[in-house]
Amino acid sequence: MLFGYCFIEVISLKQKYLFCCITICMIMFVIMDFGIYHVENITSSYFKFLAMTLLFLSANYYKKMILCYTIFCDFLLLFTSMYTLGIAFFIVVHLFYLCQMIPFFEYQKRQQQCMLLLLLFGILFSFLPLYTVAICYSITFLLHIIVAVTQKCSKMYITGLVLFVLCDCCTAISFLTFNTMVAKCIWILYLPSQILLTITKQHYFSTVLPLPQIKYPHLLRLQKKR
């Protein structure tokens, strides 16, 4: 209950309307995945992708950059069989989240430069075998979790990562065992994880010194004297 109250406090009025629509999309794809209701010529994948698109619209500038790659990965995994490319770009997504904890990355120009570099990085990774890419993804995700914990990120952010891990575990189990019931749980865990990671502000930017003070520490000493 307290977690729900904190969630409502974080988001703006515009985001609340968007999250209402996302909730409706989630209800629809859960109903369709579990066979409760069926719409002719429409699969649950459309509602899943629509939910991520709405989440993109609710995000700030930096999180929109991350969600660009996330939505691209979702499209590949939902509507195509290009799984290697999808997982390769999910590595890029986690690298973006790691970059948000670097002070100088707060500047928009550097974000755009990094976005292009990571795009090339993702394309190169996609040429590797699927299992190799999956191992690299696991290592990158583990690094993301370790950094998030050591940086003492908010509980909402950590909760998002935990849900993301559970989602990936379900994905691996369903892929290896073809268990359809486990596969139905993937997006039930995945969508809330993306919501929490999106609405949580960049932890590092709010705690570090401004860049000029890091580069020129004597400015900080002058401010303290004043």
Full 3-state SS string of 140-192? HHHHHHHHHHHCCCCHHHHHHHHHHHHHHHHHHHHHHHCCHHHHHCHHHHHHH
The mean pLDDT value for 141-168 works out to 92
Q: How far is residue 223's CA from residue 211's CA, in Å, rounded to a whole number?
A: 15
Q: How far is residue 61's CA from residue 103's CA, in Å, rounded to a whole number?
A: 16
Tell me the pLDDT band of 103, cut-offs 50, 70 and 90. Answer: low
The mean pLDDT value for 77-85 works out to 93
Q: What percent of the chain has pLDDT over 90?
A: 48
> Is 196:55 a contact under the CB 8 Å cutoff?
no
DSSP character string of 116-135? HHHHHHHHHHTTS-HHHHHH
Q: Is residue 81 predicted with pLDDT exceeding 80?
A: yes
Range of 14-28, 31-45, 179-193, 202-216 with top mean pLDDT: 179-193
Could you tell me which of 194, 170, 167 has the C-alpha nearest to residue 49? 194
Q: How far is residue 62's CA from residue 96's CA, in Å, rounded to a whole number?
A: 9
pLDDT tens profile 156-174: 999 999 999 999 999 999 9
Q: Can you give the pLDDT at residue 135?
A: 94
197 vs 36: which has the higher pLDDT: 197
